[in-house]
Structure 1
């Protein structure tokens, strides 16, 4: 999965989403930790930079930029995230802009 961009999403209470999609990508860049998630009442996007090997966070959903991993964390405790993500035009724009590395 090296150099393959990933857009992952889940809710704060669904820790399996984070573990199953994020760590396999970041470990390719010698980074073995999950993003520092913070429970919030708003959607937060965590971006991983393969250059600096760091996570940054920002409110809202980011559909542009060059981060290798985007992890969108929705508020709530349920197993969710896909319907919210698939409803975003920015997700589809990002998805169809991807090419093989």
Structure 2
């Protein structure tokens, strides 16, 4: 939605995608922080051996996200959003077929 709004506002595809990802960073950090603190409140501090799993999961997720976002921003600079639009339309049709 933010990419589309940026493009309607006159931004290029690339600038709109950059803006969208930058806008998502604080939101994702806040959501992760809230979830983490709720978990701490509900179950207390996890044992020491679980911290290593948490750190490993965080590191793998961060590296994967970096490369996926880098690829997507490169893709957006050279190609259109048409494949993503058709994908969303198809997914919406399938979803509506299952809802009814």
Q: Structures share a fold, TM > 0.5?
A: no
For normalisation by structure 1, the TM-score amounts to 0.30
For normalisation by structure 2, the TM-score amounts to 0.30
Identify the structure with the greater strand proportion. 1
Identify the structure with the greater helix proportion. 2
- Structure scoring higher RCO (CA < 8 A, sep ≥ 6) equals 1
Higher-Rg member (1/2): 2
